[in-house]
Chains A and B, each alone.
Chain A
Amino acid sequence: MLLKRISLLGLTLSALLLLPQMALAHAHLVSSSPAANSAVHGPDVAIDLKFNSRVEIKGSMITLLLPGGQTHRLTLDSQSNDVNLDARTHLKPGSYTLRWQALSTDGHITRGEIPFGVR
């Protein structure tokens, strides 16, 4: 019985110690517009994120980190296909960071960010 408990402890510890590697899994960003560290023309900015796998629009979101440090959540357009998240916004010149969260069809959540500038 004691031996079983030790074995169980070993397995439980192994499981407990499994830790995630964030923002590098499942729905993986393949390409984006604006691209990371690029500059785009304003004020109308179209945002298009393309992933390597199917993403669910309801569980996904795009947030903009504004030059002043405030955040602004964008309304996602209806999906043109299963792997894209799209949005449109009006932006003044400045530096922005786009933060995304994607829910893939298999239930995994991934996140990432894309810094870009508006001229």
Chain B
Amino acid sequence: MIWLLRDFDLLALLLRALSFSLEALAFGGVFFLLIVARPARLPGEDQAHLRRVASWFALALALTQTALLATTSVELMGSAGLGWQEVASEPFFLAGAVFVLTSVLLFCLLCLAERLAFSVVAMLIALAASVALSHAASRLDHRPLLLALTAAHHLGMAAWIGALAFLLIALRRASDPGIARILARRFSAMAVGSAAVLVLAGAGLAYFYSGSWQGLYGTSYGILLSAKIALTALILTLGASNFFVLRRAATDPTPLLLRLRRFGEAELGLGFTVVLAAASLTAQSPAIDESPQDTLTGRQVVQRMEWRWPSLHTPAFAQLAPPTPLSVAVREAAYTGGSASDANDRAWSDYNHHWAGLVVLAAAALALLSRLPRRRWAQQLGQPWPLLFMGLSVFILMRADPECWPLGPRPFWRSFTAPDVLEHRLFAVLIAAFAIFEWGVQRGWLRWPRARFVFPVLCAAGGALLLTHTHALGEGTGEVFAQLSHTPIAVLGAIAGWSRWLELRTDTGALSAQQPRYQRWAAWIWPVCLILVGMLLLDYRES
């Protein structure tokens, strides 16, 4: 069982992230139907389609919660020796069971009944069960207030980001531009209200869980929360831009609605990055609970962020501490979260990050060069930028985990039991995949029309991955130092991915000067983000 403990923890977190997303989508569907589609008199068949989509999200939510409940139950029965009846009497199990049943009920109601009143009741009961499984349920102080704020935060997210997915579906199906404009305007009004609820409730939760400004910048929880706030601010900017576009859409709405859809896609993508960040926050201890020795001071943060020239000298492999046998490491990691690194380990890691920074910087500079209009030489020189990422992928595979294959004694497959090793390898695969696809698209041998979207999607996925990246550095501030670099890189990665997406989706094939201004902006944003990522990697250090 000890070998599986961390896998079960991983599975539980993964399912929780999926559950958050599906909850936002299922509840968002109910909100959209109730507040936007019905009053806008959307044709019956379109409403039925939206109800069907929302119902499938509700069913997927029920299945995800069932799997989550089963995972936790099996883990408890295996590790604590509990019987089935004992597990079933635990408060989390009861709340989870109610969540599953009401999600199934929501699925049935959305499938069978046109009236939404009962669906709203089922949604509210499911929401109560979801909140009973949050941080707020087990807090000692301000519990009722925290439960209410958590519920408001969930509802705000569903009515804004979850409902946005349904707006995009509805706009895609709408053949009448007049109805499309009414839908967008009604959604816009709902989004303003729900974003306000989301932000106010989030500010309240941040106040109680962070405890102080130091908690916001000096702990892993706070840094992740800051990233969430930054991404939310960006989504709000995109949303505000759409809001003002709609004000101009009274006369000829078609081109503006198309722009609104494209911005909405980027908004939705960034929105679900925020949802995933929220899920990874559930695996962190609130900042207010961290001890002073595990919290960075403002001075430490400033010192850490000061620019230092990168070190391109690595300790020899033989200088690293010999790895413990995997069976011992697995057992220890289950209880300690990993072991603290020594000076050689940190120098090894710094060297890896600095070389990665050089590669990303060079690739970004070439990508930027290839954007220069009317400079054929620059475009040809910059074109091979994806190939540099292939090299980075191999570099990560070789050096990221010196205790594992190919450098160390731990075998390739068994070392997957360490989540940070698994993460590094997934990084290598992600980077190689988007490099191959992008290179194939540029050279013209990959003719699949949607292949060009692989780079932005995987780049954004890599950003989301980094929001949760840990190095199993155990207790202390080492992990927080690492997060000071990783988290801004994650945010920049997500922005780079979705700005590239926006560039491609708004590409009309026109000459540069005739392209819409926002498309030209998007074309410059992502290489600049990659340059900043390279700079942050070059300034990386774990102390």
**Residues in chain A within 8 A of chain B (CB atoms):** 2-3, 6-7, 9-11, 13-28, 30, 52-56, 58-61, 82-83, 99, 101, 103-109, 111-113
Taking a contact as CB atoms under 8 Å apart, the answer to whether A21 and B92 are in contact is: no
Taking a contact as CB atoms under 8 Å apart, the answer to whether A106 and B269 are in contact is: no
- The number of A-B residue pairs with CB atoms under 8 Å apart is 183
Taking a contact as CB atoms under 8 Å apart, the answer to whether B137 and A101 are in contact is: no
| Complex interface bits, B61-72 against A, C-beta within 8 A gives 1, otherwise 0 | 000000000001
Q: Which residues of A contact B289 (CB under 8 A)?
A: 28, 30, 52
Q: Which residues of B contact A9 (CB under 8 A)?
A: 457
Q: With A22-B6, A25-B283 as given contacts, are A15 and B79 in contact (CB-CB < 8 Å)?
A: no
What is the number of residues of chain B that contact chain A, defined by CB distance less than 8 Å?
Answer: 77
Interface membership of B470, Cβ < 8 A: yes
Shortest CB distance A53–B (Å): 4
Instruction: Compute how far the CA of A73 lies from the CA of B92 in the bound complex, rounded to whole angstroms.
Output: 24
Closest to A13 in B: B461
Taking a contact as CB atoms under 8 Å apart, the answer to whether A18 and B280 are in contact is: yes
| Complex interface bits, B13-50 against A, C-beta within 8 A gives 1, otherwise 0 | 11001100100000000000000000000000000000
Q: Which residues of B contact A83 (CB under 8 A)?
A: 140
Closest to B135 in A: A106
A-B pairs with beta carbons under 8 Å apart, 13 shown: A6-B453, A7-B269, A10-B461, A13-B430, A17-B468, A20-B12, A21-B337, A22-B337, A24-B220, A54-B140, A103-B90, A106-B133, A109-B9
Shortest CB distance B49–A (Å): 14
Q: Which of B319-327, B385-393, B395-403, B418-426 contacts A (4 or more CB under 8 A)?
A: B418-426
Shortest CB distance B97–A (Å): 11
Interface of chain B, helix or strand or loop or mixed?
A: helix
Q: Which residues of A contact B279 (CB under 8 A)?
A: 18
Given A18-B17, A24-B337, A99-B335, 10 more A-B residue pairs with CB atoms under 8 Å apart are: A2-B449, A7-B265, A21-B283, A22-B419, A25-B282, A52-B140, A56-B91, A105-B91, A106-B133, A109-B76
Closest to B427 in A: A17
From the candidates A14, A27, A30, A101, name the one contacting B464 in the complex (CB within 8 A): A14
Interface membership of B357, Cβ < 8 A: no
Interface membership of B229, Cβ < 8 A: no
**Residues in chain B within 8 A of chain A (CB atoms):** 5-6, 9-10, 12-14, 17-18, 21, 72, 75-76, 79-82, 86-87, 89-93, 95-96, 132-140, 220, 265, 269, 272-273, 276, 279-280, 282-286, 289, 333-338, 419-420, 422-423, 426, 430, 449-450, 453-454, 457-458, 460-461, 464-465, 468-470, 472, 475, 479
Q: Which residues of A contact B283 (CB under 8 A)?
A: 20-21, 24-25
Q: Which residues of A contact B469 (CB under 8 A)?
A: 19
From the candidates A3, A22, A27, name the one contacting B9 in the complex (CB within 8 A): A22
Taking a contact as CB atoms under 8 Å apart, the answer to whether B285 and A26 are in contact is: yes
Taking a contact as CB atoms under 8 Å apart, the answer to whether A14 and B135 are in contact is: no
Taking a contact as CB atoms under 8 Å apart, the answer to whether A107 and B133 are in contact is: yes
Q: With A14-B460, A21-B220 as given contacts, are A58 and B334 in contact (CB-CB < 8 Å)?
A: no
Instruction: Compute how far the CA of A28 lies from the CA of B219 in the bound complex, rounded to whole angstroms.
Output: 14
Top 10 nearest A-B pairs (CB, nearest first) are A107-B92, A14-B464, A10-B457, A17-B465, A53-B138, A105-B138, A23-B337, A22-B337, A13-B461, A113-B335
Taking a contact as CB atoms under 8 Å apart, the answer to whether A59 and B138 are in contact is: no
Q: With A14-B460, A15-B276, A17-B468 as given contacts, are A6 and B337 in contact (CB-CB < 8 Å)?
A: no
Shortest CB distance B424–A (Å): 11
Instruction: Compute how far the CA of A17 lies from the CA of B464 in the bound complex, rounded to whole angstroms.
Output: 8
Interface of chain A, helix or strand or loop or mixed?
A: mixed
Q: With A28-B285, A104-B138, A106-B92 as given contacts, are A59 and B13 in contact (CB-CB < 8 Å)?
A: no
Instruction: Compute how far the CA of A103 lies from the CA of B121 in the bound complex, rounded to whole angstroms.
Output: 30
Taking a contact as CB atoms under 8 Å apart, the answer to whether A19 and B336 are in contact is: no
Q: With A22-B337, A112-B335 as given contacts, are A101 and B135 in contact (CB-CB < 8 Å)?
A: no
Q: With A103-B90, A106-B132 as given contacts, are A14 and B465 in contact (CB-CB < 8 Å)?
A: yes
Instruction: Compute how far the CA of A54 lies from the CA of B465 in the bound complex, rounded to whole angstroms.
Output: 30
Closest to B279 in A: A18
Q: Which residues of A contact B93 (CB under 8 A)?
A: 107
Taking a contact as CB atoms under 8 Å apart, the answer to whether B92 and A105 are in contact is: yes
Q: Which residues of B contact A11 (CB under 8 A)?
A: 21, 272, 461
Q: With A21-B283, A24-B284 as given contacts, are A15 and B18 in contact (CB-CB < 8 Å)?
A: yes
Taking a contact as CB atoms under 8 Å apart, the answer to whether B9 and A14 are in contact is: no
From the candidates A10, A24, A52, A58, name the one contacting B460 in the complex (CB within 8 A): A10
Q: Which residues of A contact B430 (CB under 8 A)?
A: 13
From the candidates A7, A59, A82, A112, name the one contacting B80 in the complex (CB within 8 A): A59
Instruction: Compute how far the CA of A107 lies from the CA of B136 in the bound complex, rounded to whole angstroms.
Output: 12
Instruction: Compute how far the CA of A54 lies from the CA of B136 in the bound complex, rounded to whole angstroms.
Output: 10
Taking a contact as CB atoms under 8 Å apart, the answer to whether B134 and A106 are in contact is: yes
Instruction: Compute how far the CA of A101 lies from the CA of B79 in the bound complex, rounded to whole angstroms.
Output: 9
Taking a contact as CB atoms under 8 Å apart, the answer to whether B450 and A2 are in contact is: yes
